Structure 1
Amino acid sequence: MENNKKLVGAILATGLMSFAGVLIETAMNVTFPTLIQQFGITTSDVQWVTTIYLLVISIIVPISTFLLKRFQLRTLFLAANMFFLAGLVIDFLSPTFAILLLGRLFQGASTGIALPLMFHIILTYSPYEKRGATIGLGNLTTSIAPAIGPTYGGLLTAHWSWNAIFLFLIPVIVISLFLGLSSIPKNTAPKNATLDVLSVLSIVMLFSGFLLFLNQLGTIASLVPLVVGFMGLGLFWQRAKGPHPLIRLDVLKNRSFCLFLFGFLVCQFLLLGVSFVLPNFVQIVLGKDAFTAGLIMLPGAAIGAILAPIAGRLLDKVGPKKPILLGMVLIVIGWLALALLLRSIFIWGLVAGHIFYMIGIGLSYSNMMTTGLNKLTPESYADGNAIFNTLQQFSGAVATAIVATIINLAQSNAGYLQGTIIGSQIAMFVLWALVLLILFFMLHYFFRPKTMTK
């Protein structure tokens, strides 16, 4: 990269597509009650607006290592940009729920290319001593979206139409296009690379099977996709030992990398889980409109987004221990407060709990990714990057599916209103247990580092 401005421009150009994808994801969450009524679908069905987007990303990202070897950076960027633009137009015009999902599929394909492209540029062109701040900048583009997504979606839904959520993002993608054309390098020549088709098939079977299983959880029919998922896992593992694996799984032998990967994925679980639970709880239980539901999440999400690059600079100066551990403690306290306050009607309590929890996310989330990737050798960056980004999106889809399933089951057994309260609290406590687990592992790692080996 010629200079720092070019690097920042390239990061922002690719990051804007991820930003738009996450913005839609969180903006659409506040429209779920509206979509359920308009299309005559269930809570379990409507979460596919998020799940199909994350599923496609989970399938495309593992192929990114092949794409980065086979195509120029600029070619990949243009393809991602065009895919996203097509998805926005389709969704703006969508007359049915199926067409809406088709547009989300195109957007997922775009983000599946753009996200690893952004981190490939960071890992390739950013100096090691500034990597924390640079990765923080990259994550800022995606973490700032939840700050405005629910409010953005609620405002448009309440005063116009949920379709407008897609219309107003077209200029963002156009800005991304011009920014990328002026900053992404031209001189990256494609290399010879072989795509293992069976590995791609295994990825499709793996992620589709497990997500369909979660979507149909509690029914006999869910056993079929579960079997398909395990077949995909077995095939992927077998192909990973071949001469042309999609991702080299040797990086998973690095225990430190795996620890920070796990922590990062737990944070992703929380981010997607709360963006589903809170807006629906506020609308269904408290009777507020979509705009209010989105506004409640704005302060916390904004603080978490702003902290991402600041926490990255902190990591560059003092190391990962202090920001990550402090962040995890704040997450544990804030998340517990949110879970307990879901039985109250005190909206400001929900806002305060969310702010507290998002401060913790801002300090730890991006830094876990930076620290995990720093544990690898430069030759393994592409594989580690692909694993982080693939599992980030898949874990988000899993979190959304689990939370939606828990709430849906509670609504079926206890009624729509009471079931939403009970289901939301159960979902929050399930995720809180994961937070406690990762805090324990982090304390063990940082205070007894000799027990953790590569």
Structure 2
Amino acid sequence: MNKKLDTKLVMAIIATGLMSFCGVLIETAGNITFPVLMREFHVNMATVQWMTTCYLLMAAIIMPLSAYFKKNFAKRKLFFIAALLFLLGLIIDASATNFILLVSGRALQGAATGIALPLMFNIILEQAPSNKIGLLMGIGTMITAVAPALGPTFGGLVVNSLGWRYIFIFIIPIIIIALILGIIFIKNIDQQSLKRTKLDLHGFISIALSFAGLIISFSNLATIQQQPVKFILPLILGVICLLYFSRHELKTNQPLINIRLLQEKQFTQGLSAYFLFQINTLGLSFILPNYVQLVNHQTAMIAGLLVLPGGALGAICSPISGRLLDQYGARKPILIGATLEIISSLLFSIFATNLTSTKIALFYGLTMLGIGLIMGNIMTHSLSLLPTTQNADGNTLFNMMQQFAGATGTAVISAIMQLVQQKSTATLATNKTIAGARAALIVLVVVVFVGIYLLHKATCTKK
């Protein structure tokens, strides 16, 4: 039976989505500001990257708590706390007098996103009519997907005309609007079902240390030849803590995340595909601006404008693809998106030595159209394979994977490019950059093919 779409529900989704949108917008806009910040605060490239790394790390650490938050706190209160944290982070960043304060503000914004993003999807899964879930998941995905498309252009315009502080100042009114919308439209329909459960402190500390170790390790991957210890030690810490977390969660009566749901094979395949396609998207978002500026000798503004149409296309496609899922099931739109991903990744690798502005805009448009058909739908489909009682845990895992891919994907692709450039025998810096970009694009072809195989398996009808 078809039910009408509740306007209040849509506004609640927009309120929670705006916070995630702003977090990612600042992240991608901030990349444009790195040279300016390095000069102003007298820090190097490895240090300035903590603007992004700290944000993603805090979001990844907070997200495992989303199932616990759901059981113990009303949704409106959670959102109110997240909005205040984000506002405080923006005020600190807009007025920061040193780099430590700047990173602290980003950490608060990451914590806020870690609360708000899972909250948005939990609201959809709990309150949306069954025949509208795909559409609303698409709207949620679209809100967050628009940000990477707008970020570089927004950052370039603001930095060139007003200065980097205005990136944070312009976001403050958006968060205030989100806060007002959330207070008005987020319903506490679960108020009666709240129960005080004990926080799995051992689980939380171990997964937090695991994420910290792995993210710091991958952030140091580019310097593995010069300083291997900075890569190896955090990696060992991350792996040990992850193994401890997995063992502990299977033993405890009140796990932080019910990881037993990973025994559902198709859910795990969908989750893994989601992770790989996120890495592909973020990898391209690192390769292409560098290629445009260092190989094609265009400005950062041009680099941002070239990826803007593709990013916008993918974002607009997300709710449409969700509607296709509601009507025809998940497999058809996902496999159409997979086909576009194959075509675009092969085109990028084939033309890697001669990527003109036209080719970049066209190939990236195909990539993002494919992503728009895949990401929201594979999440919706995978969560539908779980019992309703496990949706919060499944949602947590998807959001954790998104943030972890964000923290590691760019670092890995950056390291591949730098290592190939160091090994290249080319005499010109431009040719070294082309060699690094080509190697990274070939790696992404492999990532896409593995992801497509997992998509096929995840959406097959069970016999």
Q: TM-score range by the shorter chain?
A: over 0.9
Residues 1:345 and 1:314: Cα distance change in structure 2 (over 3 Å): closer
Q: C-alpha deviations, 1:194-225, integer Å up to 9, x for none?
A: 11111111012111111121122213312211
Q: 1:230 aligns with which of 230, 239, 242?
A: 239
Residues 24 and 144, structure 2, Cα contact 8 Å, conserved in 1: yes
Aligned to 1:188: 190
Aligned to 1:220: 228
Q: Are positions 1:201 and 2:211 aligned together?
A: no
Aligned to 2:62: 60
Residues 1:418 and 1:103: Cα distance change in structure 2 (over 3 Å): farther
Q: Are positions 1:239 and 2:243 aligned together?
A: no
Tell me the distance in 1 between the aligned counterparts of 2:21 and 2:147. Answer: 6
Correspondences of 1:50-449 after superposition (within 5 Å)? 50-189=52-191, 190-217=194-221, 218=224, 219-221=227-229, 222-241=231-250, 242-344=252-354, 346-412=356-422, 417-444=430-457, 449=461
Residues 336 and 373, structure 2, Cα contact 8 Å, conserved in 1: yes
Q: Which moved further from structure 2: 322-331 or 424-433?
A: 424-433
Q: C-alpha deviations, 1:147-187, integer Å up to 9, x for none?
A: 21111111112223222211111111011011111101145
Cα deviation, residue 387, structure 1: 0.7
CA RMSD of aligned residues (A): 2.1
Q: Which moved further from structure 2: 63-72 or 182-191?
A: 182-191
Cα deviation, residue 396, structure 1: 1.4
Aligned to 1:25: 27
Cα deviation, residue 39, structure 1: 4.6
Tell me the distance in 2 between the aligned counterparts of 1:96 and 1:427. Answer: 35
Residues 1:403 and 1:162: Cα distance change in structure 2 (over 3 Å): farther
Note the residue ranges of structure 2 that are not aligned, 5 or more in a row. Answer: none
SS in 2 for 1:95: coil
Q: Which moved further from structure 2: 405-414 or 217-226?
A: 405-414
Tell me the distance in 2 between the aligned counterparts of 1:433 and 1:41. Answer: 35
Counterpart AA for 2:242: L
Residues 16 and 176, structure 1, Cα contact 8 Å, conserved in 2: yes
The TM-score with structure 1 as length reference comes to 0.93
Tell me the distance in 1 between the aligned counterparts of 2:432 and 2:37. Answer: 19
Tell me the distance in 2 between the aligned counterparts of 1:15 and 1:258. Answer: 25
SS in 2 for 1:240: helix
SS in 2 for 1:30: helix
Tell me the distance in 1 between the aligned counterparts of 2:299 and 2:378. Answer: 36
Cα deviation, residue 418, structure 1: 4.3
Counterpart AA for 1:406: I
Residues 5 and 132, structure 2, Cα contact 8 Å, conserved in 1: no
Residues 277 and 447, structure 2, Cα contact 8 Å, conserved in 1: no
Residues 47 and 404, structure 1, Cα contact 8 Å, conserved in 2: no
Tell me the distance in 1 between the aligned counterparts of 2:168 and 2:451. Answer: 36
Identity %: 41
Tell me the distance in 1 between the aligned counterparts of 2:454 and 2:69. Answer: 35
Q: Which moved further from structure 2: 288-297 or 352-361?
A: 288-297
Counterpart AA for 1:257: F
SS in 1 for 2:89: helix
Tell me the distance in 1 between the aligned counterparts of 2:246 and 2:175. Answer: 37
Tell me the distance in 2 between the aligned counterparts of 1:412 and 1:98. Answer: 31
SS in 1 for 2:311: helix
Cα deviation, residue 243, structure 1: 1.2
SS in 2 for 1:427: helix
Moved over 6 A (4+): none
Cα deviation, residue 9, structure 1: 1.0
SS in 2 for 1:31: helix
Residues 260 and 372, structure 1, Cα contact 8 Å, conserved in 2: yes
Tell me the distance in 2 between the aligned counterparts of 1:19 and 1:363. Answer: 19
The alignment of Structure 1 onto Structure 2 pairs a total of residues equal to 449
Residues 1:450 and 1:192: Cα distance change in structure 2 (over 3 Å): closer
Q: Which moved further from structure 2: 408-417 or 62-71?
A: 408-417
Tell me the distance in 2 between the aligned counterparts of 1:113 and 1:418. Answer: 44
Counterpart AA for 1:229: G
Cα deviation, residue 273, structure 1: 1.6
